[in-house]
Structure 1
Amino acid sequence: MDYWLQEATRIRRELHQIPELGFEERETQAYILKDLKALGCFEISVIADTGVKAVWRHPGGGRRTIGFRSDIDALPLTEETGLPFASRHPGRMHACGHDGNMTSLLLFARWIQKNEEKINCNIVLLFQPAEESVGGAVRMIREGALENPRPDEIYAMHLVPVIDEGKLGVRAGATQASVSDFDITVTGVGAHAGMPYKGVDAMLAAATLVTQLPSVITKSVDPVEAAVLAVGTLHAGTKRNVIADKAVLECTLRTYSETVYKTVHQRIRGLLQGLEAAYGVKTDLTEHFYCPEVYNDPGVVERLLPLLEEGVRIEQEPSMGGDDMAEMFRVVPGALIRVGCRSEAKGYTKVLHTTEFNFDEAMLLPVVKIYAKLAMRG
């Protein structure tokens, strides 16, 4: 087996077995630190508690700097792949391919160590925690991930099982949606179901809200704009004969426009005021997480495209998935490369965030090749 594929397979499968949630990535961090230290050519530091920053400085100094980022956290899912290298952490799984993202960056670190004389820039490698949860990118930035040295441009990759393996998708402009995760709490008054007039039914008000929320998009957003508003869960009630005194809706909003984001939230608050007047309930909207849309800098994409081989590059359609890499792109121009990993023939067809997601490690090697080309170009 080719050295690079052998290493890709080993590293990915070792990382796949130790998935951890955001800001809990202790074992993952220890693996990354040990791997990078063994190479002996990086300035390595712990950042954002469970993150890692590794810097390779060009001996000539004064060069451009290119950053590369991988997310490192997993999802709270119980793996059902049946793989011999399945998760060893119950209720945790790398179901979004972050084990592949990390592997690509660790392989690139090996390439750097073996090819230092070919590199024409400073390089910053960032292993970021908590992409799937509370937005570790903001903390990475706050603690100096993008300083000393400051990247002139930055790149990231993500596996995508809706693109055929061997294809790399990239586009200029908005490529992934902004994400607003929020809860709506509806508070009423509990009562016996036989005497509903003595209570205020929070569940009924919440059910009405579930049916009304879609109208916020259809009536407030220009049809040519893209926006999705979803109610993922509704929790209410304790017994069949008790009027619910509280209901909680867990929601998410995705859009490519900050203007649309603000408009939708304003309309939702207006809808909640009407619900209070109509049903006699009290409501509260709490936003738990927000990150802007992922915006690939057109200039960065223009410089990247010539490095992608014909037959490999495709124009990737925008996705409603989010990624807090967007926060880094607000500080440093960059591009997110989407890496195809779908193969009907090999049975790699499961979508991200599912308990059976899997991919062929060979799909990571074209990413390392692109990263190497960027380092040599400088």
Structure 2
Amino acid sequence: MTRTGAPAAQRVVHFVLPGDIDDPAAPSGGNTYDRRVCRDLPAAGWHIQPYPLPGSWPRPDATARAGLAGRLAALPDGAVVLLDGLVACGVPEILAPEAARLRLAVLVHLPLGDETGLDPAPAAELDALEHRALHTVEAVVATSDWAARRLVTHHGLAPERVHAVRPGVDPAPLAPGTDGATGLLCVAAVTPRKGQHRLIDALAGVAELPWRCACVGALGRDPGYVAQLRGQVSEFGLDDRITFTGPRAGADLEASYAAADLLVLTSYAETYGMVVTEALARGIPVLATAVDGVPEAVGRAPDGGVPGLLVPPGRPEALTEALRGWLGDPQLRDRIRSSARARRAMLEGWEMTSHSLAGVLERLRHEPRGTR
């Protein structure tokens, strides 16, 4: 549906997406964000024309490259185009020929060079490609204030061209949890960037205390890392306390949250951390490494209280100390849980995401050409 007096034909955005955003075996925050944009942006006055493109993005083969080039070439002059950064940021030479006639914006979920585990040379190459791509387009959308600042400073972009559009979160019932302390939950794809190995190390450091931890997330992205983690769990004798469930969605994911007393997230990089707000929407406190946009997602309660425990990413022992504090101090748990429930009432819904993105697209639609 469109706003009164705004015909759909005047507000159309062509959204170029990775081809796997609906793959249940590979859920991600970026895919969730893209799906919600497709679903919710029409309520903010924009008709979406999605174009999922298969390919090994951000390093596509010749077929995928031709598919993207053909898709852009087929669009009419002046069309507003939003491209997922995974598709766009590695192929600036495909964007450049169309930049003068199309109104291009790139949605950056994670800078390409920030993926954990990349060797320095490939990371530098992807970073250079992204630099060129983002300087080619008229607008850049980041998924947090932190990410917007990072893109401006790292790539030398004009601040007025970079827009923070944070993910929203759906309202959810309060999670009953278990005994209020020992039910731990990690929701993240099992990859080195998410740092499950240091979570396991920290849990081994509090093995004498009661707890159980469910790691919910895709297992197929890095089988070698999954095998490493399983060996680590066995070495510590924690096979009956740490479980890897694979990806969960719908009622199964809701059940995982409902059984959680604490969300744990030990990532090396997060532009925002959507699982943080998903937990807080259920009143579940958070223990996380204070990287990148995570503190922004955690936020504060109205009284200034922090609804979780944020630990320095460079101090592995801090994770163990924080877990020991959570498990051993009822007053600490009560204080943090109270802040989490207060923060729950402050969270923005996806309608705010759509409203913010619609504003970016409207500005792009009317902006004089050549302003980039």
Same fold? TM cut 0.5: no
The structure whose residues are more often strand, as a share, is: 1
State the structure with more CA Rg. 1
The structure whose residues are more often helix, as a share, is: 2
Normalization by structure 1: what TM-score? 0.29
